[in-house]
Amino acid sequence: MSRGLEPTVIADRALNNAPRLTHIQYIAMVCSIVIFSLGSQIFYLIPFYMYYPALICHTENNSFECDHHRACEADIARYELNWESHDTLNNWMTQLNLICIEPFYIGILGSVSFICFSIGSFFFTKQADVFGRHLVTCAAATLTPLALIVLVIGVPHFGLIGIYLTFAILGLTYNPRGSTAYLYGAEMLPTKKRLLFGQILFFADGIFSICASFYFYSIGNLNAFFIGIMIAFTTALIAMQFLLPETPSFLLMKGDIAGYQHSLAIVTGEK
């Protein structure tokens, strides 16, 4: 091992000297992209969760199509969902009947998320330098499928308060999960492949968002969307937990020479 060099430089040189990418590195790339991107979609697509449906309003003498503003006026005897419209989604607005709720209670969901992003970034992201990229990513990511189960099963019982609390927890783990997953994937690759990895990750992030938008336009079932995210996310999390080691550079940075050599051998295909 070279003397006088930073541990990350030594680890990078070892990865750069490998003749080709191994299946472990490809798995690490896929798992990192899925954990980063699918976890982010939960927040990107909040507008669809609270999208107002198309309505049919009924007065004493007439029935007509209307929006939520008109539906909540005093002369409207009742309103019903217009399920024939593409604007009507099976989301929280329709499940919890939030049509006439004050807009403040809708907008606060985004505020809760971003406030918790900041808190989580400040207090928890740096734990990746203490406990490792692999452990922090897996620990933070484990909360995502658990939170999705709560959102699918618990929302009808807990309402908006349950949604706020669940998104607060997801927000606190957003950067420890997303940023550390990106760091983990990058540190598993030779330096010349890291820019490409970043490009693929953010390209996949955009593609996932586009596909999700088409999903809501054509199908519009929020619970089915969460279940699909949960299955794909959990698959990547299990693969990362049981197939992938800690990054060689972190282990060397911590002075774990035996662990570094073991991880490097797995990553480069020597073991």
Domain ranges of the chain: 7-51+89-267, 53-84
Q: How far is CA 122 from the centre of its chain?
A: 19
Q: Using alpha carbons only, how large is the chain's radius of gyration in Å? A: 23
Assign domain 7-51+89-267 to its CATH architecture. Answer: Up-down Bundle (1.20)
The mean of the pLDDT values for the chain is 92
pLDDT at 247: 96
Of all residues in the chain, the percent with pLDDT exceeding 70 is: 98
Res 7: pLDDT: 75
Does the pTM surpass 0.85? The reply is yes
Rounded mean pLDDT, 129-134? 94
CB distance 68 to 56 below 8 Å = no
Q: What is the pLDDT of residues 195-248, one digit of tens each?
A: 999 999 999 999 999 999 999 999 999 999 999 999 999 999 999 999 999 999
Coarse DSSP helix, strand, coil percentages of the chain, rounded to the nearest 5 percent: 70, 5, 25
Task: Please count the helices (runs of H) and the strands (runs of E) in the chain.
Answer: 14, 3
Q: How far apart are CA 79 and CA 54, in angstroms?
A: 10
At residue 28, the pLDDT reads 97
Query: What confidence score (pLDDT) does residue 3 get?
Result: 52
pLDDT tens for 50-108 read 999 999 999 988 999 999 999 999 899 999 999 999 899 999 999 999 999 998 999 89
Contact 233, 39 (CB under 8 A): yes
